[in-house]
Amino acid sequence: MSRVVVSKFGGSSMKDHEAMLRSAKISLEQKSDITLVSATYGTTDKLHLLIENAVNGDWNACEKILFTIREHHFDILNNLTKNTLAGEQVRELINNLETLIRGIFLLGECSNKAKDRVVSFGERVSSILFAEAMKITCPDRSIQLFDSRTILKTDSTYGKAKPNIELIRKNCLAFFKFDARNSYIGQGYIGSDNEESTTTLGRGGSDYSAALFAEGVRAHVLEIWTDVAGIATTDPRICSSAKPIHEISYDEASEMAQYGAKILHPTTLVPAMRENIPVYVGSSYASKEKGTWIKSKVESKPKIRAIAKRSNQALLTIRTPKMFNAYGFMGKIFEVFTKYEISVDCVTTSEISVAITVDEATLKNEHFLHELQNIGEVVTEIGHTLISLIGNQMLETSGLAKRIFDSIGEVNVRMLCLGASPYNFNLLVNEKDGDATVIKLHKEFIG
Ligand code: ASP
Ligand code: MG
Reported as a single tens digit per residue, the pLDDT across 408-440 is 999 999 999 998 889 999 999 999 999 999 999
Rounded (5°) CA angle 97-102-107? 130
pLDDT more than 70, % of the chain: 99
Taking CA atoms only, the protein residue closest to ligand 1 atom 5 is 204
- Is pLDDT at 139 greater than 60 in this prediction? yes
Q: What pLDDT does 416 receive?
A: 94
pLDDT digits over 156-189, tens only? 999 999 999 999 999 999 999 998 889 999 999 9
Q: Is the CB of 204 under 6 A from ligand 1?
A: yes
Q: What pLDDT does 343 receive?
A: 85
Q: Which residues does residue 164 pair with via DSSP β-bridges, in sequence order?
A: none
Average pLDDT over residues 347-353: 90
Number of residues in the chain: 447
Beginning with the edge strand found earlier in the chain, give each strand of the sheet holding 142-145 in spatial order: 142-145, 182-187, 34-37, 5-9, 221-226, 279-283, 292-295, 247-249
Average pLDDT over residues 196-216: 97
Distant-in-sequence, close-in-space partners of 252: CB < 8 Å, separation ≥ 6: 305, 306, 390, 391, 392, 423
Q: What pLDDT does 323 receive?
A: 72
- Is pLDDT at 326 greater than 80 in this prediction? no
Interval between CA 119 and ligand 1 midpoint (Å): 9
Taking CA atoms only, the protein residue closest to ligand 1 atom 2 is 204
Radius of gyration of the chain (CA): 23
Q: How many other C-beta atoms can be found within 10 angstroms of the C-beta atom of residue 41?
A: 18
Q: Which of 147, 234, 123, 231 is nearest to 196 (CA)?
A: 147
Q: What pLDDT does 265 receive?
A: 83
pLDDT digits over 259-303, tens only? 766 778 878 999 999 999 999 999 999 999 999 999 999 999 999
Mean pLDDT over the full length of the chain: 94
Taking CA atoms only, the protein residue closest to ligand 1 atom 6 is 204
pLDDT digits over 352-379, tens only? 899 999 999 999 999 999 999 999 999 9
Q: Is the CB of 290 under 6 A from ligand 1?
A: no
Name the residue type at position 68. Answer: T
Interval between CA 265 and ligand 2 midpoint (Å): 7
End-to-end CA distance of the chain: 45
pLDDT digits over 1-22, tens only? 579 999 999 999 999 999 999 9
Write the CA distances from 278 to 36, 258, 270, integer angstroms: 17, 19, 12
Look up the pTM and report it. Answer: 0.91
Q: What pLDDT does 91 receive?
A: 97
Q: How many other C-beta atoms can be found within 10 angstroms of the C-beta atom of residue 184?
A: 23
Average pLDDT over residues 73-80: 97
Q: What pLDDT does 1 receive?
A: 57
- How far is residue 1's CA from residue 323's CA, in Å, rounded to a whole number? 59
Average pLDDT over residues 396-413: 94
> What number of CA atoms fall less than 13 Å from residue 186's CA on the CB side?
28
Q: What pLDDT does 169 receive?
A: 98
Q: What pLDDT does 261 receive?
A: 67
Q: What pLDDT does 233 receive?
A: 94
Q: Is the CB of 187 under 6 A from ligand 1?
A: no
- Is pLDDT at 250 greater than 90 in this prediction? yes
Q: What pLDDT does 352 receive?
A: 86
Q: What pLDDT does 258 receive?
A: 77
- How far is residue 209's CA from residue 187's CA, in Å, rounded to a whole number? 8
Q: Is the CB of 206 under 6 A from ligand 1?
A: yes
- Is pLDDT at 325 greater than 80 in this prediction? no
Q: Which helix (H) or strand (E) holds 119?
A: helix 112-137
Average pLDDT over residues 144-161: 98
Write the CA distances from 407 to 1, 300, 303, 315, 410, integer angstroms: 52, 24, 16, 24, 9
More confident residue, 230 or 24: 24
- What SS3 class is residue 294? strand
Taking CA atoms only, the protein residue closest to ligand 1 atom 8 is 204
- How far is residue 441's CA from residue 234's CA, in Å, rounded to a whole number? 10
More confident residue, 330 or 79: 79
Q: What pLDDT does 257 receive?
A: 81
Average pLDDT over residues 223-252: 92
User: What ligand 1 atom has the least distance to the C-alpha of 201?
Assistant: 5
